[in-house]
Homo-oligomer: A and B are copies of this chain.
Amino acid sequence: MIKIAVDAMGSEGGPGVEIEGAVQAAAQYSVSIVLVGQKDRIDEALRNHDTTGLPIEVVNANDVITMEDSAANAARRKKDSSVHVAARLMRDSGISGMVSAGNTGAVMATAKMILGTLPVVDRPALSTVLPTQKGKPAILLDVGANVDCKPHHLEQFAIMGDIYSRAIFGIRRPRVGLLSIGEEDSKGNELTKEAFTLLKRVRINFIGNVEGRDIFKGDVDVIVCDGFTGNVALKLSEGLYEAFASMLKQELQKTISAQIGAILAQNAFRQFRHRLDYSEYGGAPLLGIKGITIVCHGRSNANAIKNAIRVAQEFCKHDVNRAIESEFKKLGITRTAGVT
């Protein structure tokens, strides 16, 4: 059975949230779980659940990385943190993947340091999944692993995103777009213009430039950008959704008629929220690392953790990393050691 390590200390609601999600995942999916963190706190939280017969074990890690820790410091110094221990388990002890809702920068830096990057890949990319109007999710990457990118990084992100989309969402020929500021081939900044030329040559279904407004339409499956732009885009989407919801709520409370209307429509609102609910999508895979690493939002709930474990297991089952290595070799993409 595939074994996934879960950082129990990472999220704002940890370890309770992680443990609830892990227990659900162990019960629902064919996966065994190693909870990593302060053992006494984990054991205490586990007592709230019936775990009889579930493949769950606990491994102690004394240190906790906080949101205030810098990524570099957390990676280099906090060697007994739950993230370090989980990554070492993955490197040394036959564990296939890990899930963490901790400090994203620290998780990425630690995973890179302990597990390393796949031999063919220059830079790992953090990917996320966004809901679209057509129901099918779209993958956006990089959303924050690399703030300054070179064109060939975007090329590699595109190929990894393509594999992700095929393996996890079963899309046969994912439409891959380059996030830019106009659909014409010539539009973009220096980075995207050069990346465009590279992507034209790669044997993927590259559909050209896409704009911010296209992301949610559902006409593109994989959207590629540098980590700065992607991170801004991701956080902007979150902020805008919150602003929308709050403004709409304010208006719906202003009159009795609107209040009654809102009650009658509450199921529709619930369905609507559900469609936009990030917790259904199972976190952000860090692609290109030796070992499957899924990063979750710091404010994850148990459902988000459960789904991230499901995604980690699917990544293992489809052997996404081997697919990346063989696809890179097939396409003749080689690591540009020294010039990254």
Contacts and interface: CB of A to CB of B under 8 A. Distances in A.
B240 A216 contact: yes
Contact of A236 (B227, B233, B243, B271): B233
A64 to B, nearest CB: 19
A252 to B, nearest CB: 5
Given A243-B132, A260-B261, A213 B229 contact: no
A257 B246 CA distance: 23
A198 interface: no
A258 B251 contact: no
Contacts of A189: 147-148, 226, 228
A232 interface: yes
Contact of A214 (B239, B267, B275): B239
Q: A interface, how many residues as a size bin?
A: 35 or more
Interface string A177-204: 0011100001011101000000000000
B235 A212 contact: yes
A275 to B, nearest CB: 6
Interface string A117-140: 000000000000000110000000
A268 interface: yes
A237 B216 CA distance: 10
A242 interface: yes
B239 A217 contact: yes
A241 B240 contact: yes
At the interface, is chain A mostly helix, strand, loop or mixed? helix
A247 B133 contact: yes
B255 A267 contact: yes
Contact of A258 (B190, B213, B239, B265): B265
B246 A234 contact: no
Interface in A252-275: 252, 254-255, 257-258, 260-269, 271-272, 275
Nearest to A260: B264
A278 to B, nearest CB: 13
A133 B251 contact: no
Nearest to A264: B261
Nearest to A262: B265
B238 A213 contact: yes
Interface string A217-230: 10000000111110
Contacts of A81: none
Nearest to A231: B181
A266 B257 CA distance: 9
Contact of A268 (B179, B237, B258): B258
A240 B243 contact: no
A236 B235 contact: no
A281 to B, nearest CB: 15
A29 interface: no
Contact of A251 (B70, B226, B264, B269): B269
A244 B244 contact: yes
Top 9 nearest A-B pairs by Cβ distance?
Answer: A213-B239, A261-B265, A261-B264, A212-B236, A212-B235, A216-B243, A258-B268, A251-B268, A147-B189
15 contacts: A70-B186, A132-B243, A189-B228, A213-B236, A213-B242, A214-B239, A216-B239, A232-B232, A233-B236, A236-B236, A251-B268, A251-B272, A255-B267, A261-B266, A264-B264
